[in-house]
A and B are shown apart, each in its own frame.
Chain A
Amino acid sequence: MKELLTEEKSIYLQICDMIETDILRGILLEGERVPSTNELARLYTINPATAAKGLGILVDRGILFKKRGLGMFVAEGAAEQIRQRRKKEFMEVKLRALLAEASSLGITRDDFIAMLTGGDDDA
């Protein structure tokens, strides 16, 4: 889990991403407890409230659920949910941005497809 925090994104969003990545990688399994706000605060040297915000977002997304007095746990089906969400984000956000940049560079759609299929042949 202990990746370094970067400056590209809000800290609490990075916390979300890291926990989701850990769930996908099998570091955190469904039903297991995730680190508490205080543990995250200590791990990343951040304010517990910031960590809480990140965890709160994951609870809202249904990735985590809270067990009173015990902490936050990974929800059933969380891994699949994360995979779906990231797939959607990849197509709708990242790919779209890539296409926009390609177009601003004058790369046509055909060039792009050619690059994609050409790449498959090499791989």
Chain B
Amino acid sequence: MHNLVCTNITKRYKEKEALRQVDLTLESGKIYGLIGRNGAGKTTLLSVMTAQNPATAGTVTLDGQPVWENQPVLDRLCFSRELSASAGSGIAGMKIKDYLRAAATYYPGWDQALAGRLVSAFRIEPKKALGKVNKGMLSAVTITVALASKAEFTFLDEPVAGLDVIAREFFYKTLLDEFAETGRTFVISTHIIEEAAGVFEEVIMLKDGRILCKENTVGLLDRAVQVTGLSEAVDRATAGLECHHAGTVGRSKAVTVLLRDGERIPDGFDVTVQPVNLQQLFVALCGEEGMG
């Protein structure tokens, strides 16, 4: 068991604090989902964890060794970030094959055969420059690097942005195959929550630079329910329970409840109790007034 541990990570910019006292322990051998709204700090957290962004305070260690400026540790990590090669950006002129060749040089475990298979499967055109291909191909390149790196801890930031649904399905299946074969740790940040929810063994929710929860996905969803009915009935049925995102329409009320150990919605109230999926739970926990 190897642990990547973030201790008290804070990232401060002039205008705001992107990460606030984040404590996080990632255990090896799992697929984690990192979900949060835009600006919640997902990319910043992944950058700091892989020493691509210096933290303002706090440390990141792998098996007790610091990640910062530590090549033997960096060799075990891979952060495949979202490539945005707009016309003005520095990497727009770089050819895909040169980018892949650099990746092969920097990742000690690079699997060229796997990279080749993924390039064909995603129909990547290696001779093209990064600035001249569509978003789908950029995502495909990101995914190829992440999977072929064979890194122990692999982080993917929005890997499926730009992929059509069939390509996304292919990604999830390839990811699960790779996980089954190697047991590598993956941390995937995504906006397309429900589609990926089944793939995550644990889910990490980030809100305003803080970790809202980090829990086994199945366990978390087992304790989340939606209670609807007449407002008074709902209030009585959920008294003393952890309620979120209450909304009323006329005389009816709907609320998302996170049951703690041993709690349940008592019988005898005329309310509908339904299971909640990850996306719905995320909206309930991270949504805001005015935007839903």
Interface residues, chain A, CB within 8 Å of chain B? Answer: 5, 7-12, 38, 41-42, 44-50, 53, 104
Contacts and interface: CB of A to CB of B under 8 A. Distances in A.
B199 A53 contact: no
B110 interface: no
Contacts of A46: 198-199
B200 interface: yes
B173 A47 contact: no
Interface of B: 30-31, 169, 172-173, 176-177, 179-180, 198-201, 217-218, 221-222, 270, 274-275, 277
Nearest to B169: A45
A12 B219 CA distance: 11
Contacts, number: 49
Contacts of B200: 47
A105 B189 CA distance: 47
**Nearest 8 pairs between A and B by C-beta?**
A46-B198, A38-B180, A47-B201, A49-B201, A45-B172, A7-B277, A41-B176, A47-B199
B200 to A, nearest CB: 6
Nearest to B278: A7
A21 B221 CA distance: 24
Contact of A50 (B179, B201, B274, B275): B201
Contact of B179 (A11, A48, A104): A48
Given A46-B198, A50-B198, 17 more contacts: A5-B198, A8-B274, A9-B275, A10-B218, A10-B275, A41-B176, A42-B176, A42-B180, A44-B198, A45-B172, A45-B198, A45-B199, A46-B199, A48-B176, A48-B179, A49-B30, A53-B218
Contacts of A8: 274-275
14 contacts: A10-B275, A11-B218, A41-B176, A41-B180, A42-B173, A42-B176, A45-B169, A47-B31, A47-B199, A48-B179, A48-B180, A49-B201, A49-B218, A50-B218
B257 to A, nearest CB: 16
Contacts of B201: 47, 49-50
Contacts of B270: 104
Contacts of B277: 7
A18 to B, nearest CB: 14
